[in-house]
Structure 1
Amino acid sequence: MGKLTLTTFLTLDGVMQAPGGPAEDPRGGFEYGGWVVPYADEGMGEFIQEVFARAGAFLLGRRTYEIFAAHWPRHDDPADPVASRLNRLPKYVASTTLKDPGWTPATVVDGENLQAEVVRAKDATDGELQVHGSGQLAQWLLARDLVEELNLLVFPVFLGTGRRLFSTGGLPTAFAPAGSRTTGSGIAIHTYRPTGRATFGSFAD
């Protein structure tokens, strides 16, 4: 049985949209794509390689899947832990519109039984079933308590606009820290594991 993990890049104000380039995701007139690039450094690369080394399969939203599928097959290197795993490990794509994923091995999962399909995919995985990016899917998984570990790479930049990971209406959830580090360029990397519903109190008591 695997473990479902989510790894994502965030700005200080929680934006996760188009981290890798201006044309990656311009929805809503977003003009600040590529905000990760000025801060990408050796420490970030080391952490990402550590994450991918634990991968047993991937669960991706359609947009992230298509971005990856357009890039990684053309940059395949068996010695690269990112490229080798993305190109060879099972990929599950959550989509109601994608019919032929093309980039094998890949399976489209959708419909009313998506939660059951995700659980089955996790149970069939030896290692981590990893979600990268995939904002809408990530929110859906978080709202159903399906994420078992959360890797947040927080970049020292504020944008003021863009799609955010933690949207209004999410479940109040408490997390326990499982690791942290800061890279040379100032990326704060935090790993959390959920511990249940958030609790509340008052200093006036």
Structure 2
Amino acid sequence: MRKLMVMAFVSLDGVVQGPGGPDEDREGGFTQGGWAVPFFDAAMMGLMAEGAARMGALLLGRKTYDMFAAAWPLTTADDPIGARLNAVPKYVASRTSPELSWRNSTLLDGDVADAVRKLRQEEGGEIQVHGSGDLVQTLLAQDLVDEFHLLTFPVLVGSGKRLFGTGTTPGAFKITGSTVSETGVVISSYVRDGALTHGLLGPETGNW
């Protein structure tokens, strides 16, 4: 079974909307776009390139696909991230039937969750989801995420779309790696670790 990994830029208050620019996603009247940009440095780009090297396929929502398709094909051959994104199969979840111009792109048929389950059963490398906030909510609700790579930025955005919505399926994860960039971004990886468990904390229980 293929692993499905979600990579997200997230603020301290959980916002994932519009990290890359003012006009990236203004849905809901969002005005804080571009909040992640001042924190990027060479070390962060290097870590992202390492993640891209593990990519066997890219799974995107329609809005993120359109943004990626407009930018990444223009990158030069010596850009390791762009080269990988251009080369791998790309699967797109959309409520409409768009024309997909980026090479190696396929529109998912039928129910998105069922289509993703089929993809995970196929042979191949890691399926990665970048951005695609609405799609991520569907994947979380259907318990289809195996791993998170989170870049947590030291900012409070205030309002906007959150990474973990109300439909998130409970579960446990374990951290497999963590580092802090020179600009203060915490870069962490988490993998599934079974079901959510519960306990009781207090001096009367001895768990204090």
TM-score where L is the length of structure 2: 0.92
Shift, 1:116, TM fit:
2.8
RMSD: 1.4
Aligned to 1:73: 73
User: Which amino acid is 1:69 matched to?
Assistant: A
Shift, 1:150, TM fit:
0.5
Shift, 1:21, TM fit:
0.3
Aligned to 1:8: 8
Q: Distance in 2 between the 1:199 and 1:62 partners?
A: 35
Contact 1:57 1:125 in 2 (8 A): no
Contact 1:153 1:190 in 2 (8 A): yes
TM-superposition CA deviations, 1:166-187 (whole Å, max 9, x none): 1123222211111100000000
Matches within 5 A, 1:135-174: 135-174=133-172
Q: Distance in 2 between the 1:17 and 1:147 partners?
A: 19
Larger Rg: 2
Contact 1:72 1:87 in 2 (8 A): yes
User: Which amino acid is 1:59 matched to?
Assistant: L
Contact 1:3 1:127 in 2 (8 A): yes
Contact 2:137 2:167 in 1 (8 A): no
Contact 1:95 1:110 in 2 (8 A): no
Shift, 1:190, TM fit:
1.0
Q: Distance in 2 between the 1:124 and 1:78 partners?
A: 29
Greater shift in the superposed pair: 16-25 or 138-147: 138-147
Q: Distance in 2 between the 1:168 and 1:25 partners?
A: 21
Greater shift in the superposed pair: 169-178 or 25-34: 169-178
**What is the aligned-residue identity percentage?**
48
Say how many residue pairs are matched: 203
Aligned to 2:26: 26
Q: Distance in 2 between the 1:153 and 1:20 partners?
A: 13
| Aligned-partner SS, 1:173 | coil
Q: Distance in 1 between the 2:138 and 2:193 partners?
A: 18
Greater shift in the superposed pair: 122-131 or 101-110: 122-131
Contact 1:96 1:111 in 2 (8 A): no
**Which ranges in structure 1 are unaligned for 5 or more consecutive residues?**
none
Shift, 1:110, TM fit:
4.0
Aligned to 1:119: 117
Q: Distance in 2 between the 1:95 and 1:110 partners?
A: 9
Q: Distance in 2 between the 1:193 and 1:146 partners?
A: 12
